[in-house]
Amino acid sequence: MFSSKTRKATEAVSLLDHTQQLRTPNGWALGQLATLGIGGELTALAYGVQIEWDVGLPSKIRHLAWKSGSGFLCVVDAKDTLYVYDLQRTDKGRPHRDSSLSLRSNVTCVETSASHSFFFLGCKDGTVDVYDIDRGVLAPHARIPNLWLVQEEILRRSGVPDAPSRRHIPVCTDIKAHPLDLNLLLIAYEGGVALWNIATRQADRTWEFVLPPGAAGGGNDTEETIFVERRPAVTCLAWRPDGVVFAAGHEDGSLSFAATADDNPIMIRTLERADVNKATEEDLFGWSSQGQPGQPGQRQPANREPIFRLAWSGFPQETYLSQAFASVAGPSSPTLPSSPSLAEEKADLHGGTLLTVMGGILPSDPGGIHVLELPAYVAPTASNAKSGGIPLAVREALRDSISPIAHHLYPTPAPPEDFLLLPRNSPHYGGAYDPSGIIITSGRDSRCPVPSAPHSNNSIEAFTFPPSNSRAPRSLSLPSTLSFSGRDTCTSAKLATLGSLSYRHLLHQFDVSEETAERIPLKGGHASPLSRTNRRGPPPTSGDQPPRILITTHIDLTVRFSDVSTHVLWGRKPEDGSEPRLEQDFPRPLRHLDIDVKAALSDPRAAGLEAARLWKARPWELEIDKIELAEENLEVAISLSSGDVLVHRFAYGAAPLELEQDRVDAEANLDDTVRNALRDMNLGGTASSAPPRPHFGSTSQPSRNGSFAPASHSANMDPQDRYVNLAGGAVPRPDLDGFRPVAAFAFSSASSTSGIAQKSGLALSNVGFLAVSNDATLMVVDMRGPDVLLVDSAGSGRSAASEKGKSKAKLDSSPITALTWTVCAIGEDHDRSPRLVVSQASGLNRIFELANVGGSWLISERFASVHHDSTRNAFATFVIDKRGNELVADSQNIQLALNQQATYASPDNIDPVGALTSLWITVAPTTLACFYNVDGPKTATYEDEHGHFERAAIVRAQGCTALAVQSRNCMLHVFSLPDLQQVSRLRFEATLHDSAGIFHIAPDGDFVQNIDPLNIRLGTIRDFHRPAFPPKVSAYDPSIPIPAQVSALQSVGSALGAWFGAQKVYSGAEIDGILGGPNRPPPKNRPAPGAPPPIVAATRQAKTASSSGHTTPTQTQFLQGASESARDIMAKTSAALEQRNEYLGYLGERLGTMADDAAQFASETKRKAQQEAAKKSIAGGFSSLWKKTP
């Protein structure tokens, strides 16, 4: 039986309809906009275009290689199956698989060339298979045999100690094509290196890198092995760009250098020492004197890492003409600072080279990628004296050219796993000529926490290249696909919609150009916007497509911002009348807005925070818990797992002149401080009459108690002692716009410091109020001071404005589940004041009112409380007015409230008692409810015992309002307002997870779904007139020219040709003819890029012919059409036969695998049966023996 008050409230609400035309299911459509995350563990790298494709391979990818100058991508998986994809053609959003082959042996290394069409695959049995990429077949007669078997036989016949046995098979460890002579191929084996001549099919030369007895080598030998002859295994190779010298990395961490015209190595060294193949007194006897008196010491191995990878880079030399043009151009304008683009940072090493080394370090050395800067080769005068195969003068000149003159380091947080150089223009010289960037992958950072969900451990970073002696290398922005791995693993994501003014503030034009200049230099291919024409519904208005910002938190304690607005995918036209192109990544990273929590915690003023102490002692236990963005005043609140809260505020970057003035003022301030100190100590100095200068970087006056963090975080702490002033703290780039730390608040509890799971909440309003909850404890902050207005522990109501501050309500220690800031009237209180609605798990809801008294905001000592069973464990609450607008705490609603309070003198402006002013919507795990005037009676409810609701948001579109709720069973429900009738139910079509993940729904209907760190999805429940993602992608652009294989170092090779004798230089076509042989198959019939399939093309032609009229063809036209049809049928038949053969081969491979598995299963079954029979016989023997025992 309803009371009269409830009946009147229900009748008043029944007249409202905020959803209107969105009540039909046709008004809602679920769509997936984009998928973020790397999707798996990073295992291989290759340089090419930027695009993400799921090629659907059943096994992990071990080797990747591009065929530069074409769209072919070669992939070798863990089952040694080769796949060749043609990026010029796509099949249902995936690259077209041009060919595939199951290889006969395990693949250990691969090599391609932009000059010919063959792909070299080094195998574990020491042979090198040659695959014809253009024809899609293996060239069996071009296979390179195991060249090191002969060398091992020579060692065995020579009686060399520890020679390998005849059962040993040398493994091929690396292959490198000669940078200038396509006919030469350098092949590394465990025991040495061989130079293979493709034309003559024989080895021109072999090298062995021998360490004589007593030589230290890499330092990993003990006293038993150092006095014997050793041959450290070769692990990798690298050619110098002139092709005269190559470097070989070894398993003991040493580097060997050899010339192609000499049998003996020029030098064997480590990263820090040369000539480690020569014994010294320290190597022989230094370790024996390290023991105790009378007891000689033992040689301790150095535990040096092997050399894992090498890359040798050359650079074009600056000519006098380019210097003259640079001098005529004059200096650039110094008005605005700008980071040099990658095109402007061309290195001129005066003919020198850079050798990039991964590995070869000691345990005490800093981890990372090491770069050795080597001088230019200076050709000597003619000399007749020879050492080996080359003159002594040339040998000495070569030794000088490989002696480092500088040593650079790219540090990594964990041991590096791989690196990749990004050449500026040329794909030749192993992809290492004139690089402008480097990509480095490393292992898991031990200082970061380990997520429980599936994630990628390997971190990936990109830097400018080459390194500079004057400044550290700049970090480059990676594509969004690679930005969620390792240290960048995402822990949470949310969407924020911004107004136009706030969006323009964040995307200041200067900062956007700065961010564009620091992107990774990937320029292959292009993308054009693609609209989804099959989507129904009216075109969206500008209000339905506001700017959107994706906010992500990461395990390295960083907060990152990305632009995911719709207009980013629409692109822009480079010229009038041209096709629009996408010039930005999606999501578009806004690196100038990134927030590094570690920088704020390293501030000395924050040393007393529990988070700062935890970060220094056990950083892997500290994580970002929640984050909130105030869209209007551009403030960010970050709560940490320790309970402490950090607040950052957006600020413009300082101009260069202001930065310089601040630097001068800081120096003068330091001089004044030193002078005053000397005067106080009576050590001289004169007092200055000038007034003290302001503190550098300070933007606000320090609080009376906010200078340093407290040392204790007890519950009895004074509220103002919880505030820490972080204004004016140092930031990495003060010249850029971005978020600056302004305050921190100590709010840790016993449960947070002990690692016990807790229920926390965070709410930041657009009018400067912050609310934080930790279990049942509540803190309210006014950011204008900042002032801590309230610290309430389990309903104690302890306020900063009052010593008493205790509510007369019954204490409730249940955890707080929802915090909501609003500006509304409540019950019979007609004042539209800022209010905080606090919901607890027990169903108790407290409403705190804030009032402006004498220019300061105070929180009321007494709060209104309502208790409803339908609000138990409510995780979201919303307050809307009678027109359906959400009454959030923003500047507009505050201004309306102040205007209303100013007109209270007139009775006409006061609502009658009991009139409808607001509606309160609550969302609990199984119940939705609507209440009249917040604390009034319930007007509508919706219950679903199996719903398991988890996230909710008020969605506004086309002037209507609805409630969107996400449930655990992968469903999105849309409810009308205010009657809470379900109008649509949307189910996720494709998900491989039992749970829908963590959702965040934006007010415009877009959402982000964090399934796990490997899968983050952007979607919408209003999928109308949205651009498609991925867009229309042309992964390979044939209009990009491939430069000829020339360099400034070819002159060096020509000069050395006088010493070593000239040889025939083969072209790429000649190498194709040699490797392909006389029986090379004809080229494959590939359709032109972008052309439709033959059936579609024939259908289009038929439609065109039928629409043009019913004309009778002539006999010639008829015969020509018949012949073309016959050719089409033959082409289709040939393609079908080729596909059939491919399927049969794949089926044969699978059947062979099944046979092997069946044989293995039979053997395992037989073995287990024998074991069981043996167990039973033994058990029977023991039982019979036990029975016979008296």
Determine the Cα–Cα distance for residues 677 and 686; give it in Å rounded to an integer.
11
Taking the C-alpha atoms of residue 179 and residue 183, their distance in angstroms, rounded to an integer, is: 10
Could you list the beta-strand ranges (E) of 406-451: 406-411, 416-423, 435-442
Averaged pLDDT for residues 154-167? 81
The whole-number pLDDT of residue 820 equals: 94
Instruction: Give residue 994's pLDDT.
Output: 57
pLDDT at 1017 over 50: yes
Give this prediction's pTM: 0.78
Q: Tell me the CA distances in angstroms from 940 to 98, 875, 910, 937, one per residue in order.
A: 61, 18, 27, 9
Residue 297 or 815, more confident = 815
pLDDT band at 700 (very low <50, low <70, confident <90, very high): very low
A 10 A CB-CB count for 224 gives 8
Task: pLDDT band for 571, please (50, 70, 90 cuts).
Answer: confident
Q: If you average pLDDT over residues 422-430, what whole number do you get?
A: 83
Q: Which residues partner with 123 through β-bridges?
A: 107
3-state DSSP percent of the chain in helix, strand and coil, to 5 = 25, 30, 45
Q: What is the model's pLDDT at position 481?
A: 76
The continuous run of DSSP H or E covering 612 comes out as helix 610-617
pLDDT digits (tens, 9 = 90+) for 486-495: 788 888 899 9
Question: Mean pLDDT lowest for which of 612-621, 793-802, 1067-1076?
Answer: 793-802
1116-1126 burial, b at 16+ Cβ within 10 Å, e below that, comes to eeeeeeeeeee
Average per-residue pLDDT for the chain: 77
What pLDDT score does 11 carry?
Answer: 83
Query: Residue range 983-1001: average pLDDT?
Result: 74
pLDDT band at 381 (very low <50, low <70, confident <90, very high): confident
Among 428, 423, 525, 421, which Cα is nearest to 115's?
A: 428
The stretch 511-538 carries a mean pLDDT of: 68
Give the whole-angstrom CA distance, residue 1186 versus residue 1190: 8
pLDDT at 424: 84
What's the mean pLDDT in 917-943?
91
Q: Does position 309 have pLDDT exceeding 90, yes or no? A: yes
Spatial separation of the C-alpha atoms in residues 958 and 1059, rounded to whole Å: 81
3-state secondary structure of 5: helix
Per-residue model confidence (pLDDT) at position 681 = 40
Confirm if 794 and 852 have CB atoms less than 8 A apart: no
Higher pLDDT, 903 or 279: 279
Quick one: pLDDT at residue 336? 33
Whose tokens are 């136009």? That residue is 500
Which pLDDT score, from 0 to 100, does residue 254 have? 92
When mean pLDDT is compared over 236-250, 307-321, 891-905, 1125-1139, the highest value belongs to 236-250
Mean pLDDT over 650-668 rounds to 61
* Contact (Cβ atoms closer than 8 angstroms) between residue 75 and residue 60: no
Amino acid at 71: G
Examine the pLDDT at 250 and tell me if it is beyond 90. yes
Q: Is the pLDDT of residue 4 over 70?
A: yes
What residue type is 748 in one-letter code?
Answer: S
Taking residues 498-505, report their average pLDDT. 88
As a dihedral over the C-alpha atoms of residue 801, residue 806, residue 809, residue 814, rounded to 10 degrees, the angle is 90
Whether 914 has a pLDDT exceeding 70, the answer reads: no
Q: What is the pLDDT of residues 1022-1076, one digit of tens each?
A: 888 788 777 877 777 777 777 766 543 444 444 444 444 456 778 888 898 999 8
How many beta carbons lie within 10 A of that of residue 528, not counting itself?
13
Most confident stretch, 3-7, 330-334, 1014-1018: 1014-1018
pLDDT over 80 at 101, yes or no: yes
Across residues 730-744, what is the average pLDDT?
A: 84
pLDDT at 1179: 64
Single-letter code of the amino acid located at 704? R
Q: Which of 215-224, 335-344, 403-412, 543-552 has the lowest mean pLDDT?
A: 335-344
What DSSP assignment string belongs to 967-1023? ETTTEEEEEETTT--EEEEEE-S---SSS--EEEE-TTSEEEEEEETTEEEEEESB-
**Is the pLDDT confidence value at 909 over 80?**
no
pLDDT at 509: 59
Q: Highest mean pLDDT: which of 48-57, 803-812, 924-933, 1048-1057?
A: 924-933
Question: What average pLDDT does the segment 940-969 reach?
Answer: 89
Coil/strand/helix, residue 842: coil
Q: What is the DSSP letter of 284?
A: I
Q: How many CB atoms lie within 10 A of CB 669?
A: 15
What one-letter code names the amino acid at 846? R
- The end-to-end CA distance of the chain, in Å, is 85
Segment 206-215 mean pLDDT: 88
The two three-digit tokens of residue 127, written as one number: 């042979």
Task: Flag the least confident range among 259-273, 295-309, 646-660, 691-705.
Answer: 691-705
Q: Do residues 824 and 911 lie in contact, with contact meaning Cβ atoms separated by under 8 Å?
A: no
Question: CA 967, CA 1121: separation in Å to the nearest integer?
Answer: 60
The predicted model gives 315-330 an average pLDDT of: 47
* Chain segment 854-867, per-residue pLDDT in tens: 778 888 877 888 89
pLDDT of res. 1014: 78
Output the DSSP codes for 1143-1168. Answer: HHHHHHHHHHHHHHHHHHHHHHHHHH
- Of 85-89, 172-176, 338-342, 545-549, the one with minimum mean pLDDT is 338-342
Among 401-415, 709-723, 726-740, 971-985, the range scoring the smallest mean pLDDT is 709-723
CB-CB contact of 420 with 301 (8 Å): no
123-142 tens-digit pLDDT: 999 999 999 998 889 988 88
pLDDT at site 62:
87
From CA 704, how far away is CA 1082, in angstroms rounded? Answer: 85
pLDDT digits (tens, 9 = 90+) for 805-831: 444 445 778 899 999 999 988 877 777
pLDDT at 350: 73
Decide: helix, strand or coil at residue 1067: coil
Q: How confident is the model at residue 685 (pLDDT cuts 50, 70, 90)?
A: very low
Contact 493, 1008 (CB under 8 A): yes
Give the pLDDT score at 41: 54
Angle between helix axes 1094-1108 and 1115-1188 (nearest 10 degrees) is: 150
Judge whether residue 310 has pLDDT over 70: yes
CB 555 within 8 A of CB 448: yes
Each residue of 279-292: pLDDT tens digit? 887 767 665 555 44
Q: How far apart are CA 590 and CA 613, in angstroms?
A: 30
Q: How many CB atoms lie within 10 A of CB 1010?
A: 22
Q: State the burial class of residue 381 (Cβ atoms within 10 Å of its Cβ: 0-12, 13-18, 19+).
A: exposed
With CA atoms as reference, report the closest residue to 114 among 468, 543, 525, 423.
423
